[in-house]
Chains A and B, each alone.
Chain A
Amino acid sequence: MNNSRVLIIIFAVFMLVTILVVRLANIQLIKSEEYSYYAIQQQTDVEKIEADFGLIYDRENNLLVYNRNDVTFYADLAMLPLSKRELIAEKFSKVIGKPKSFFLNLLKGKKGTITLAKKVTSEQLKSLGNLKIQGLYYKDDPTRINHYGNLASHLLGYINKEHRPVSGVTEFFRKEIEGIDGSRKIVKNAIGELVSIEEDETQPAIPGSDLVLTINKDYQSVLEEELRKGLEKFKAQSATGIIMNPNTGEILALANIDDYDPNFYWQYNDFQRRNRAITDTYEPGSTFKPFTLAALLDKKLCSPAENLYLENGTYTFNNVKIRDTHPHKYLNVSEIIEQSSNIGIAKLAQRISDDEFYKYLRGFGFGNLTSVQLPGEAAGKIKKPNDWSKISKAYMSFGYEISVTPLQLITAFSALINGGILYEPQLLLKRINHNGELEFEFEPKPVRRVVSEQTSVLMKNILRGVVKNGTGKNADVEFISIGGKTGTSQKLVDGSYSKAQYNSSFIGFFPVEDPQIVCLILFNSPDVGKYGGLVAAPVFKSVAARIIEKDFNKFEKYIDESFKQKLLFTSLEKEKSFFDSDQIKIKEVKLPADKRMPDLINCSARDAMNALTRMGIKYKIKGSGIVVNQSIEPGSKISSNEICILNCAEVTITGVSVY
């Protein structure tokens, strides 16, 4: 061995080693930060945890809108073994009901991730069985379900495919209902698959608050059914109905027909989806006369018994002819409203000054938003006195040259009969956050006094007369006193009043002595019959009668003794259908103050788990859905080692799982 040559080799090796160490120092010390940043970029991801939207209940705690725990399946074609594709297609086609070729076609490629099946329900997921195949995975994709389909669609709104709340209270209370999205840091591999979750960097999502609305599901369905029937019968273009509590401004029901099913919102046009009760204005016609009269009575400019000459049906006023449908020679003021005389009210209106009249109308809220908790409200239009022509006041007195929304009209009408106070219409009874804490509770919001109490009493009696003796006879229900006013207005078509198209409406209330319910029925362009008294009044009557039947206890005290027996008999029959399987009442969990077992029966499994976790009670859940049985009696004390076993059952309604 040649020593000097060996030294050369040793020297060369040391050179190489030196180069390597310098190189490593450069990579691992000097450029470490740069490479670390790049490493974090490719190795980890921050994933959003979407917060659950809050649920929506009616005032009776009927669950109206909930989230169904669907999942969406994806397939990573680069990872998915070719041999398994046949099996996957077969299973999916069996469970989801699309042809096998459809799935095979999706699974054709060799690269990329494809969406295999969207919105797979938890039942379908169960029937798919244990599909543990490399490259096949699913993610939570909850579906917003409006349980009763079209019911109250314009009030509830929906969540679109981009997860944005649209229309109704869902949009109005967006911030409250959306909750706060969480996030988690995940470690992923080179092909983007999740390897692990960095638990300590996880920010859990906070679910949105639940809304309890002022609406009553039964009133709502009665209103919708009757409007639908009426629409069919009178061949109208559309219909709107609102039921309110005149004493508080609570909206009990609101419907527009045609409507839409929020679960399939994309299948409907804009007109169907629009809440015309607040977005569309119309000229109210004769239903406006009571407001004119109330202003006059309040200013003591006339008295109900005062007689007026009515020109035999045609009155020329400032070169314009005002006509009555039924000519009269003389009527007193009450009768003018009962018979809905345009001439009479126009003549009376001349007694009040322009400014005074305008002030009253503004007082009733016309021309202003009602501030209802719904998006897209229109303010309607009322001209200022300066812009009035010589005939404006006369026309306005019977509901022309002014445009209102149906909600404005019923809100103002409530003030007319509730003792004279205008209340803001409201939809939200309660808002409860995910911890079960009450965040908001309804309180009536009085806006202002519009007319005196005496005026209100006078108006109630006059409006009772309309139904008893006048144009509103078709609205009369024999067992309870009903008051109201009909309206038939020519529609403005292309700037002139149409002879063929009318808005036929009736606005009524009961019982007259202590109004509990006020209800507006409006038909747009009925083909069969045009007068509000013939078209809208009978619909009002059916709605009123059915509401009283449904809510018999509430109205019992106002009902004529002689009719009670008859009514009781019929409502007992209805009782059966009242508790049909269509109802789901999911209770909220009420946490006891001390550490005692809460009553969890009929609560959702999710809520029950949350509650028990928060209380530190150990539990085992069998099944899923709604708690039907709990092993520890409610109210009993809990020892630290006791385990509560909850038996749950899926409540299935027409193939839809609640939860």
Chain B
Amino acid sequence: MKKLALTVFFDTLLLICLGLIIVLTASSTISAIKFSDSLYLFNSHLIRVLIAIFVMIIFSFIPYEIYKSVSKPMIVFAVGLLIFTLLFAPEIKGAGRWLSVAGITFQPADIAKLILIVHLAAMLEKKSDYLYDFRNAFVPMFIWVVVTSGLILIQPNISNGLLIIAISLTMMFVGGIKFKHIFLSSASMIVSGGVIAMIFSHSRQRIESFYNSIVNGGDLNTQVKQALVSLGSGGLFGVGIGNSKQNNLFLPEAYGDFIFAILGEQLGFIGSVAVIFFYLVLFIAGILIAKKAQDKFGQLLAFGITFSIAIYAFVNIAVATGTFPTTGLPLPFISYGGTSIIFLSAGIGILINIAIMNAKKPKVAVNNLTEKNSLRDKFE
């Protein structure tokens, strides 16, 4: 179990360090032009990275069981924060997503996501005996999911909201909620979600442009086009670290949501696949930690954290390669993206703690788990 904890720790560290290098190479031009200091964005990223590593270590020492008891007040706090954001956050690029506390700007959605995962894990454990029950098990969980993601969706932050729904439903699916309930609710949400997406102009545009690109075979938006040029010009081995030319303002958000394209330009196909591999290692290690966790809360918490990081990473890469429509999601641990790296690291900290706890009392936990699983299987 220690091995898994170390794997997660060093894999994350690897991704963070890679991120530092790529952020440096991707942001220097824009930093020089906007702030007349080519290290400006890198420096602010470096500070956040140091905080993130610190937070990760702190959280890895906090026994994860204590979240179970405070998950309800935490989710209430998160929802309050989202409402506050909705009412008071200043609008940036047509959406109010950011709050500023004591000079630190952060996205409440990032906190809410983590708290929702914790709370869902706690609820799934608490209600593990009657998960089949629509009214008593599914509905209370689903309400939290809808409230939280709904508040994020109407910021508007469609992509984050949708991914949070997807992560929540996956957790519920893995946690043992009846598939029928999940399917029906997600079907109804897809319909209503589609309607909502078409109401907000910036998400509608993105969907339309992606639809166009598939139907008419071309006319991708500039970001995606430039991302493909970046990746393509990287070839097999890349142009080399520090030799990016696409960072000369050709690729918007080169250091943010589209950082994977600059990475692919500099490190080539080999580098891009390696990064995917590192995320996959994190995902597998996380799943193994979840599998070996001593209680259901730990299992589902570990799964939720792991799955959310993997899904964010792969959706981001899918966007950068033009596989999915353009969304505003950061590449975990690598993107320059404000405070999201801190909350992601907190999640990794929790994951490591779960792994450490497993190591302390292995046998009991495994037996306990198998029992419960077999019990639930009988109910189903």
Contact = CB atoms under 8 A, between A and B. Distances in A.
A24 B233 contact: no
A572 interface: no
Contacts of B33: 134
B175 A36 contact: no
B233 A36 contact: yes
Contact of A20 (B246, B248, B318): B318
A43 interface: yes
B317 A20 contact: yes
B174 interface: yes
Interface stretch (B14-22, B268-276, B336-344): B268-276
A28 B233 CA distance: 7
Nearest to A42: B250
Contacts of A493: none
B248 A190 contact: yes
Contacts, number: 128
Contact of B229 (A17, A23, A24, A39): A39
Interface in A262-288: none
B175 A42 contact: no
Interface stretch (B58-66, B67-75, B142-150, B299-307): B299-307
Interface in B252-266: 264
If over half of A's interface residues share one DSSP class (helix, strand or loop), that class is named, otherwise mixed; here it is helix
B236 A32 contact: yes
Nearest to A19: B323
Nearest to B299: A1
Interface in A38-90: 38-40, 42-44
B280 interface: yes
Size class of A's contact patch?
Answer: 35 or more
B358 to A, nearest CB: 13
A23 B246 CA distance: 20
Contact of A43 (B173, B250, B264, B376): B250
Interface stretch (B79-87, B195-203, B283-291, B345-353): B283-291
Given A1-B373, A28-B264, A39-B232, A16 B296 contact: no
A546 B317 CA distance: 88
A28 B175 contact: no
A584 to B, nearest CB: 43
Contact of A38 (B229, B296, B376): B229
A9 interface: yes
Contacts of A29: 235-236, 269
B229 A42 contact: yes
Contacts of B272: 24, 28
Contacts of B310: 13
B231 interface: yes
A10 interface: yes
Interface residues of B, number: 48
B221 interface: no
Contacts of A10: 287
A43 B230 CA distance: 11
A36 B170 CA distance: 40
Given A27-B232, A38-B229, A187-B245, A20 B250 contact: no
If over half of B's interface residues share one DSSP class (helix, strand or loop), that class is named, otherwise mixed; here it is helix
A167 B248 CA distance: 45
B151 interface: no
A28 B239 CA distance: 12
Contacts of B307: 9, 13
B248 A27 contact: no
A635 to B, nearest CB: 50
Given A16-B314, A17-B280, A43-B248, A5 B231 contact: no
B11 to A, nearest CB: 15
> Which residue among B174, B233, B264, B300 has the maximum number of chain A CB atoms within 10 Å of its CB?
B233
> Which residue among B173, B229, B280, B376 has the maximum number of chain A CB atoms within 10 Å of its CB?
B229
A20 B232 contact: no
B231 A28 contact: yes
Contacts of A34: 232
Contacts of B229: 35, 38-39, 42
Contact of B228 (A1, A5, A21, A27): A27
Contacts of B287: 6, 10
A188 interface: yes
B249 interface: yes
A158 to B, nearest CB: 40
B204 to A, nearest CB: 25
Given A20-B276, A32-B232, A35-B229, A13 B245 contact: no
Contacts of B230: 39
Contacts of B174: 1-2, 5-6, 9
A656 interface: no
B323 A6 contact: no
Contact of A195 (B248, B276, B300, B314): B248
B158 to A, nearest CB: 20
B29 A195 contact: yes
B321 interface: yes
A35 B273 contact: no
A189 interface: yes
B193 interface: no
A390 interface: no
Given A21-B276, A29-B269, A188 B248 contact: yes
Nearest to B317: A20
Contacts of B249: 189-191
A2 B178 CA distance: 11
B232 A28 contact: yes
Interface in B304-333: 307, 310-311, 314, 317-318, 321-323
20 contacts: A1-B291, A2-B173, A2-B176, A6-B303, A13-B283, A16-B314, A19-B323, A20-B276, A23-B318, A27-B231, A28-B234, A28-B264, A28-B268, A35-B228, A36-B233, A36-B235, A38-B232, A42-B229, A134-B33, A190-B250
Given A32-B235, A32-B236, 5 more contacts: A1-B291, A13-B307, A24-B273, A35-B228, A43-B248
Interface of A: 1-3, 5-6, 9-10, 13, 16-17, 19-21, 23-25, 27-29, 31-32, 34-36, 38-40, 42-44, 134, 187-191, 195
Interface of B: 29, 33, 170, 173-176, 228-236, 245-246, 248-250, 264, 268-269, 272-273, 276, 280, 283, 287, 290-291, 296, 299-300, 303, 307, 310-311, 314, 317-318, 321-323, 369, 373, 376
